[in-house]
Amino acid sequence: MATKKTSAVRFKDPEEKYMGSEPSFNNEEDWPERKIDIMKSFNWYNHFCNRKEFINDLIEYGKTNLKLTKEQIALFKLGGTFYIPITIGALVRMEERGLILNTYEKKSIGKSILENIQHGKTLLDKFSNKGQMEDATEDVKIEVITPQQRLRSKINKTIMEDFRVMEDTWIGGGVVVLDAYELMKRHDLPSMAVGMITPWVKDRIDEMQGAIDKTCDQAVDGYKHLSKKELTGRVKILNKILDDLKRHQANSKTVRKVRTKKPVAATKLVAKIKFLKESPEFKLVSINPTTIVGAGRLFVFNVKTRILSEYITSGPDGLAVKGTTLQNWDQAKSRSTRLRKPEAFLPTILSKTQRQINNAWENLTTKDTLPNGRLNEDTILMRITNG
């Protein structure tokens, strides 16, 4: 399919990794694969769009090609999209992007538009006769936007736009480093959004890594204007974006409100506890302190001293809190250590298994010390486990 741009790309989505970008054509009347290319385009628009998104395109087509009057346009709008299949809207959009329509396609578009105008007139007659808007709209099929579609739309208008600006800057020779963790918070995106964003990031990493390793001829040719050092730097930036997305996902889970009502005793126990709710510097958010009571293991991190502590319960009743001090922890099993590179090690505490944490901890070069059990306003309550 041709790549000449004849109309601005309007429909964007992280799933373009699998489906490709919005189709465009080269203003040709016919070519051997025309039917195949059009069917592929129908599949693309059916996946990414709904009929309402083509209303303005159809109105513009009607004005230009069918010479619709203002009255007809008003009736068309009243008719909604009742007689407009998504393939008709897609054909109009494809014409804007370089497709020369044949006679059959033009007739199909015109027929659908005129039928929709007639449907609008029918609704107007009902409205005039009965005087109730409910009667005028009772036959209109309402398209419901799912929460996932609404979230995907928000992603495309916010953080994905930030990523596209970053790419454009790279293409222009500039250097941009985005803080994805901060962007996710600024745009108020939930943890579910991470799964919709990561394919876009991973796709770019794979492309650039293929150019670096020379395992993909297309990637090598596409990035031949960049040195290996420049490509490696961009891959590093993208990997940091992935880490920030994972951290946002982990932190979003920790701040969820506990649905089940906590025992009153636990609430009273933690009433005087001191801790740091959030650390923008280390991109950490504290868990609900009431979950500490009865837990088998607790990880805390002091942002001021950079000391990471692991408290392990000494009995079957789990950990407890008295004032600002932890109770019921085993001094023989619990440990603390000062982190030289917290940014590299803390994600392990948030997302890995206990065995993986132990292996990573053993590789640290700093010596372990005995924690004191006291919590203060510089302490992030990172994670609890029962194992």
Mean pLDDT of 73-85: 80
User: Looking at 222, 254, 286, which one is the last position of a domain?
Assistant: 254
Regarding whether 63 and 124 lie in a shared domain, the answer is yes
| Position 9 in a domain | no
At 255 the pLDDT is 54
Judged by average pLDDT, the poorest of 24-33, 132-141, 256-265 is 132-141
Print the domain residue range for 190.
147-254
| Position 10 in a domain | no
Mean pLDDT of 224-246: 90
d(CA 257, CA 138): 41
Regarding whether 205 and 173 lie in a shared domain, the answer is yes
Percent of residues, the chain, with pLDDT higher than 90: 34
Helix (H) or strand (E) holding 48: helix 34-48
User: Looking at 254, 289, 304, which one is the last position of a domain?
Assistant: 254
The token pair that represents 292 in the structure block: 């500490």
Regarding whether 367 and 323 lie in a shared domain, the answer is yes
For the chain, the average pLDDT equals 83
Regarding whether 108 and 82 lie in a shared domain, the answer is yes
Q: What is the pLDDT of residues 275-313, one digit of tens each?
A: 999 999 999 999 988 888 889 999 999 999 999 999 999
| Position 220 in a domain | yes
User: Looking at 234, 254, 274, which one is the last position of a domain?
Assistant: 254
| Position 11 in a domain | no
**Taking the chain, what is the end-to-end CA distance rounded to the nearest angstrom?**
56
Residue labelled with tokens 């399919």: 1
d(CA 222, CA 217): 8
Nearest to 297 by CA among 349, 250, 246, 356: 349
d(CA 60, CA 81): 15
**Cβ neighbours of residue 156 closer than 8 Å, sequence gap 6 or more:** 12, 13
At 138 the pLDDT is 47
Regarding whether 133 and 168 lie in a shared domain, the answer is no
Regarding whether 364 and 299 lie in a shared domain, the answer is yes
The token pair that represents 173 in the structure block: 């020779």
Regarding whether 188 and 217 lie in a shared domain, the answer is yes
Residue 379: strand, helix, or coil: strand
Regarding whether 188 and 120 lie in a shared domain, the answer is no
Regarding whether 278 and 233 lie in a shared domain, the answer is no
| Position 142 in a domain | no
Is the entire prediction scored with pTM above 0.85? no
Regarding whether 311 and 239 lie in a shared domain, the answer is no
User: How many folded domains does the chain comprise?
Assistant: 3
Helix (H) or strand (E) holding 297: strand 297-302
Would you say residue 51 has pLDDT above 60?
yes
Q: Between 237 and 174, where is the model more confident?
A: 237
Judged by average pLDDT, the poorest of 4-8, 14-18, 122-126 is 4-8
d(CA 41, CA 94): 8
At 387 the pLDDT is 67
Regarding whether 193 and 304 lie in a shared domain, the answer is no
* Residue 74, CB-side half-sphere exposure with 13 Å CA sphere: 5
| Position 25 in a domain | yes
| Position 1 in a domain | no
d(CA 375, CA 268): 16
Regarding whether 127 and 203 lie in a shared domain, the answer is no
Would you say residue 61 has pLDDT above 60?
yes
| Position 86 in a domain | yes
